[in-house]
Structure 1
């Protein structure tokens, strides 16, 4: 069956939709379905996307293509709406570089079924559902009416209120009323009617976009919150003049961000001519504020109303409800969202490890059942179909409030969507199959082409039944993930991605294995799918500890698994097990080879590789000796410098020296490294504690944090270094100090990350394939964790833009690749790796490559830029992973002569 996956879209949630579409594309059971990627751009055009672009980190990394961009002083990445009013020819030219434009009437020729991974307006509001109904294409999820209702928070509140259902008190503020009333009086009225805190929402947005919490009776903050929900912003001359040139650029970038800012295009003071491009806005603001005291920026597609709710103090949860095989609602186990005082915002929702998700919510069984029944009732009341995500609160007094039902859900690998389905034993691939089958049945019940859909249902049911009885001999791969370092959450993301890529293949049978413990003892556990899909490494470790303590499954889980028994038996075939500890000897019996998805220590340091070699288990990445060097950034720099390669000036700074005489320690560093310089751990990655140190206060704060004895961060130093919410900052006995690599007068200067892959030629000699490097764009002082791993956050241009002229760009690229190959040779890198560097291009064309670090087991999360690079070389992510595994087997065979 050909499955058209619709992703991207016109809404502010398009990046999460893009990432979710990729998850669906990867996890569809390839024995049952053929995925057809339909990228919807922000102008609403349908594009049959070339496969390699699915693996870009963000939409802006590939669309609009670089050739379609206007000349730009600051090289800012933009969406296609920032190119202004394009002609039909210009639109067609942009599309032709990434795929093929598809007219609506052509869609039925491409697909049998449409899987909707779209979010927000244009995706969840009934519009695309209506088009597909018109075309006779069955689609996933709810139909037209429940979708239209499901996106309108105000309509939902009015219905819940009319039915007497418990929901937080609310009021609605219309934009035209707001502009003509006394703001202070409005705030006083809302505080009197609803109390504090107040929750302000954009009524047709998801992913917490346009949401604020007002905790105090503060008029300025209230006005800012209203503006945020209406997607507009007042800029004063005083504020603008306080900003330097670089700060103004950063401010405009943040303002025009579709998730946290107001987006583009905008109008100034209700003028008729929109401003499309951030650089045009930069100029327009500067000119307007020369004469005006303040200007009002308004997004042309902003909201016209603001929903204001009373704040519910209590436990927050989210519950996926699906239709069972009889068409009745079945609530999966509700998940509790555990956080501090912070709002569950876009960043917390989609970056692993920031908010704890506990399934089921930690409440008595009767209360959880009350939540489930209330969610099932809302599902019926609103007429939802197939599946929905219902959010709510349990107040401190026990009252239950339901809020913001969604007819779709985020579809990242560890989102609520897959996380809760795993609790009844379905992996992502199996759950998607069930939803497609259920959607076909729902569309047929509603009268859409009943004869054709009956045939599709019969064909699918037969194929699903056949899958349960297949007896294929597949290669068993233990995917080891987790660890106990600051990189553990990203390691789980990498491991899950590898597992999902392998499990959808016909060649491999992956086995998820979690590593925990300490440097003294590595503990290995085989994971069932429900534990593997917990939100992060800490949640997985907690579930293992509960299992080891002999705790039985939560009674509500047992109940839901019984209720979902028909689904599980049909689509998964077997019941869930408990996490099980295994020895390395048992690992060798369980698996034919190993994929190490760990980052930092352990994993990249050679210790784990040494144990695997003892049992003859092939593994990915470099060998023991090379890994033990590249894990240490100081030792890596030293080896490379001795080989004549360029690296930053560097030294180790030790805790003992700091403790003995802190003042002498600081002066010694300041003498050798003028401010600003870089301080970072020598053996941690994922941007953990990588800081640009600009003065003595920051140096002292960095030392106090990294040399601290307690686990928790110290509040004062953390504030000095502007650490983000739950930012990882490991404790070490020493750290690495490096000179800050700067432009140094070069005509062109950029940060790059380049991947490579090794193989053996027919004579058994090692060959190194170096890919086109990616240009990494940091919005802050260094590349952040979010820019590397949060969907839609990082900006990577692949291939790197070394020069505007294609021939000159390729010449420089070849020189850079030659240096990266030399790095691999010097360090004896094998398998694959990622090398980070800065590149300076002098006015005369001379190329200087300064190496920053080497990752022998680079991140393999779904959107990591190594997949962008391998796609340019013609490898799908699965093919790249397959090549890595094949090399590991070949190396093991080469090391053990035939007896």
Structure 2
């Protein structure tokens, strides 16, 4: 069956939709389905997308393509709506660079079923559902009516109140009322009297916590800011604007143009329509008005105010069984670091905790499940829904956000809770498609055709269950105990999911914890692998002896679902030694980052038991984990690296003043400080003065894991930021343009193969250009879907031939670096590039990652796509090399 995956879209949630569509594309069972990517751009065009663009980190990385962007002094990344009013022929010229426009009447030529991962307006509101029904295309999830209800928070509140659901106090007011209210304090007084404090300010038609804020106290300035945020209005005072440096202005415009946390573009600036960030920058620079009011052209027309509900926050997926009866899966408690479960908390690993089931008495869990199932039926939802809410200390359940489309990132509630009844992502997607077909038959439209589709799919599912397939067993080791453990879990899950939907491999998820002297390995069931982060997984593999009684009950209730889609599945985690692992699997994929994993320790143990593995060997790994030693070796071989030195804890503790004096003799501020054996941007800081250097050292050399309050302020550390404790750290010169005509940061991936004679051959991919929003590239920018700006291939020059010439020079240095360090398998090398006159390039190596991040959003997949590798094929090549290397060594 050909499955058209609709992703992207016109809403502010388009990046999460794009990432979710990629998850579906990768996880559809390849024995049952053919995935057809249908990218919906922000103008509403349907594009049959060339597959390589699916693996870009963000939509703006490829659409509109670089060749369609206007000349800009600041290289702002934009969505297509920032190009202004384009004619159909101009749109087609852009579309043809990434795929092919398809019209709704042509859908049946390309796919049999539409899997919807679109969010928000135009995706969850019945619009796309109605279009698909008009053209007789079955689709996933709820129908037209329930989708329209599911998007409108105001209508939901009225229906829920009438049906007897507990509800917070609510009220609304319009944008016109807001703009016409001269003194906003009067409205605040009215709302406090009507609703009380604290209260929540919401944009009624948005998801992913976009446009949501909480007002805890009577604060007129915060109230105005919150309402403006929900209406997507920004006020700029010209006097303040003029005090900003150019860098601050660029950051302001970049933040403002962010469709999730800023107001987005295009905007009206005091009535003048501006599409492009640079046009807005110029307008503000030249404005003579005292104040400029910026309003997004698609801002909200009203505001929803709700009384704040104290209690535990939860999210619950509700699904239908074979008879159409709703089953509420185990509700997940959201343990927030910040007051709001905001966009970053939802989608970045480690920023919040998901506890399943919610930690309340069993009777309260059943009350949540009962209310969620009742609401599912009351709002006439179909197939599945995600329902959010709160439960207070006396067991009152408040449901506040029913969603007919859930986020579909690998760690989302959607897959997280389905795993508790034994369904892995691939199986859950099969269930969604099958159940959706059954629901569409009930509509009375095109019944016979849909029934035939359903019968064929049922027969294929049964055939697949009974087929005995001999697959290569691959242990995917993830986790660890470094500051990179959460990203390692994301990488490991991604590898697992790519392999689990293949016809060649059977992945076995293995969690590593313990210490450097004692690696503890646990084979884990799917529900534990899909826990929120490494710390949650560690807790479960150590503590879980018996399933929670409520989960046991739900597993029984969902028996007719799991029996259809799941064969035998592991129920409980168990410890395993390296020797026992060799008896269980044929090969290992090490998805660890930092120590252990990239330091050769795990490789040493695997070689003892004869297991082939991915990546470099023991000696090369021991070198590349040490940034100082790597730099020293590369410099001795004529490779450009930054001037660098180590700062040791003993020297610092004995005499901090002398340690600083020694550093300042050799280095000038600003400098870069970072751990010498950690990656993923953990604790990488631009140090601009002595105070910041002292704060960095105090944090790095602290005795206890808890952060120190003083250094937190000096270094502007975020909540939940990873900052390891070390006995030494590395300082480097800040690499700058140094007179070069063009200067950029790049990251380049590579893959090794063995030729017929057994010689190592390097395939170095086109590097990506990485654009940091802040002073250094952040964790979010590297790994969070929809964050970061990576241009692949890197823009070394506007002239195509010159770009090719410079790229060849850079890739030659990357290959030489890999050969010097004896890298095998695959790797990622980060560097700065200075381009001088006559297109001469200097490549300065920053660091080498022998086990690079393999999360869905990482740019190594953008690079491999240019060379024709889909992520699965890239992973397959990595595993194949490990097998061949092992065979040759014997």
TM-score by length of 1: 0.98
Deviations 1:708-742 (A, max 9, x none): 01111112201111111200000000000000000
Aligned to 2:818: 824
CA–CA distance in structure 2, aligned partners of residues 341 and 427 of structure 1: 30
CA–CA distance in structure 2, aligned partners of residues 189 and 395 of structure 1: 26
Deviation at 1:574, TM superposition (A): 2.5
Deviation at 1:575, TM superposition (A): 4.7
Aligned to 2:18: 18
Of 784, 802, 807, the match for 2:796 = 802
Aligned to 2:410: 413
Deviations 1:11-66 (A, max 9, x none): 00000000000000000001111111000000000000000000000000110011
Q: 3-state SS of the aligned residue for 2:512? A: strand
CA–CA distance in structure 2, aligned partners of residues 282 and 243 of structure 1: 12
CA–CA distance in structure 1, aligned partners of residues 229 and 320 of structure 2: 36
Aligned to 1:29: 29
CA–CA distance in structure 2, aligned partners of residues 50 and 727 of structure 1: 37
Consecutive unaligned residues of structure 2, counting only runs of 5 or more, are: none
Matched, 1:558 2:555: no
Deviations 1:238-262 (A, max 9, x none): 2211211111011011011100000
Matched, 1:858 2:864: no
Q: 3-state SS of the aligned residue for 2:839? A: coil
Deviations 1:609-637 (A, max 9, x none): 01101111100000000000000000000
Instruction: Tell whether the 8 Å contact from 2:238 to 2:284 is kept in structure 1 after alignment.
Output: no
Instruction: Tell whether the 8 Å contact from 2:524 to 2:570 is kept in structure 1 after alignment.
Output: no
Aligned runs of 1:105-124 on 2, under 5 Å? 105-124=105-124
Aligned to 1:283: 282
Deviation at 1:197, TM superposition (A): 1.4
Aligned runs of 1:180-329 on 2, under 5 Å? 180-181=180-181, 182-269=183-270, 271=271, 273-288=272-287, 291-329=288-326
Instruction: Tell whether the 8 Å contact from 1:747 to 1:841 is kept in structure 2 after alignment.
Output: yes
Aligned to 1:619: 613
Matched, 1:73 2:73: yes
Instruction: Tell whether the 8 Å contact from 2:765 to 2:867 is kept in structure 1 after alignment.
Output: yes
Of 345, 348, 352, the match for 2:342 = 345
Aligned to 2:674: 680
Matched, 1:91 2:91: yes
Instruction: Tell whether the 8 Å contact from 2:337 to 2:719 is kept in structure 1 after alignment.
Output: no
Moved more, 665-674 or 854-863: 665-674
Instruction: Tell whether the 8 Å contact from 1:568 to 1:574 is kept in structure 2 after alignment.
Output: no
CA–CA distance in structure 2, aligned partners of residues 252 and 529 of structure 1: 43
Deviation at 1:396, TM superposition (A): 2.9
Instruction: Tell whether the 8 Å contact from 1:138 to 1:448 is kept in structure 2 after alignment.
Output: no
Deviations 1:272-306 (A, max 9, x none): x4210000000111222xx2110110001010101
Instruction: Tell whether the 8 Å contact from 2:152 to 2:205 is kept in structure 1 after alignment.
Output: yes
In the alignment of these two chains, the number of paired residues is: 889
Matched, 1:776 2:770: yes
CA–CA distance in structure 2, aligned partners of residues 489 and 168 of structure 1: 36
Aligned to 2:160: 160
Aligned to 1:368: 365
CA–CA distance in structure 1, aligned partners of residues 534 and 67 of structure 2: 41
CA–CA distance in structure 2, aligned partners of residues 421 and 245 of structure 1: 49
Instruction: Tell whether the 8 Å contact from 1:741 to 1:838 is kept in structure 2 after alignment.
Output: yes
Aligned to 2:566: 572
CA–CA distance in structure 2, aligned partners of residues 844 and 571 of structure 1: 61
Compared CA separation, residues 575 and 875, structure 1 to 2 (3 A)? closer
Aligned to 1:654: 648
Matched, 1:590 2:589: no
Aligned to 2:439: 442
CA–CA distance in structure 2, aligned partners of residues 452 and 280 of structure 1: 52
CA–CA distance in structure 2, aligned partners of residues 634 and 167 of structure 1: 59
CA–CA distance in structure 1, aligned partners of residues 180 and 800 of structure 2: 55
Deviations 1:844-889 (A, max 9, x none): 4221000000000000011210110100011111111111111111
Q: 3-state SS of the aligned residue for 1:274? A: strand
Aligned to 2:381: 384
Aligned to 1:82: 82
CA–CA distance in structure 2, aligned partners of residues 313 and 719 of structure 1: 29
Deviation at 1:194, TM superposition (A): 1.6
Matched, 1:544 2:538: no
Deviations 1:564-595 (A, max 9, x none): 01111110123541001001110000110100
Instruction: Tell whether the 8 Å contact from 1:390 to 1:404 is kept in structure 2 after alignment.
Output: yes
Q: Show structure 1 runs of 4+ deviating over 6 A.
A: none
Matched, 1:131 2:125: no
CA–CA distance in structure 1, aligned partners of residues 17 and 97 of structure 2: 21
Deviation at 1:697, TM superposition (A): 1.1
Aligned to 1:749: 743
RMSD: 0.8
CA–CA distance in structure 2, aligned partners of residues 760 and 108 of structure 1: 44
Deviation at 1:162, TM superposition (A): 2.6
Of 402, 420, 445, the match for 1:423 = 420
Aligned to 1:691: 685
CA–CA distance in structure 2, aligned partners of residues 490 and 345 of structure 1: 20
Aligned to 2:524: 527
CA–CA distance in structure 2, aligned partners of residues 110 and 644 of structure 1: 54
CA–CA distance in structure 2, aligned partners of residues 565 and 628 of structure 1: 49
Instruction: Tell whether the 8 Å contact from 1:231 to 1:298 is kept in structure 2 after alignment.
Output: yes
Moved more, 575-584 or 519-528: 575-584
Aligned to 1:177: 177
Deviation at 1:743, TM superposition (A): 0.7
Q: 3-state SS of the aligned residue for 2:856? A: coil
Q: 3-state SS of the aligned residue for 2:274? A: coil
Aligned to 1:479: 476
CA–CA distance in structure 2, aligned partners of residues 542 and 139 of structure 1: 39
Deviation at 1:546, TM superposition (A): 1.3
CA–CA distance in structure 1, aligned partners of residues 178 and 67 of structure 2: 43
CA–CA distance in structure 2, aligned partners of residues 194 and 160 of structure 1: 18
Deviation at 1:215, TM superposition (A): 1.4
CA–CA distance in structure 2, aligned partners of residues 473 and 18 of structure 1: 34
Instruction: Tell whether the 8 Å contact from 2:350 to 2:486 is kept in structure 1 after alignment.
Output: yes
Moved more, 186-195 or 862-871: 186-195
CA–CA distance in structure 1, aligned partners of residues 349 and 664 of structure 2: 36
Instruction: Tell whether the 8 Å contact from 1:600 to 1:683 is kept in structure 2 after alignment.
Output: yes
Deviation at 1:161, TM superposition (A): 2.2
Aligned to 2:752: 758
Moved more, 327-336 or 234-243: 234-243
Compared CA separation, residues 341 and 13, structure 1 to 2 (3 A)? closer
Deviation at 1:341, TM superposition (A): 4.2
Instruction: Tell whether the 8 Å contact from 1:604 to 1:856 is kept in structure 2 after alignment.
Output: yes
Instruction: Tell whether the 8 Å contact from 1:834 to 1:854 is kept in structure 2 after alignment.
Output: yes
Deviations 1:205-227 (A, max 9, x none): 00000011111111011011110
TM-score by length of 2: 0.99
Deviation at 1:174, TM superposition (A): 0.6
CA–CA distance in structure 1, aligned partners of residues 504 and 78 of structure 2: 40
Instruction: Tell whether the 8 Å contact from 1:478 to 1:513 is kept in structure 2 after alignment.
Output: yes
CA–CA distance in structure 1, aligned partners of residues 209 and 591 of structure 2: 31
CA–CA distance in structure 2, aligned partners of residues 164 and 417 of structure 1: 27
CA–CA distance in structure 2, aligned partners of residues 784 and 279 of structure 1: 24
Q: 3-state SS of the aligned residue for 1:781? A: coil
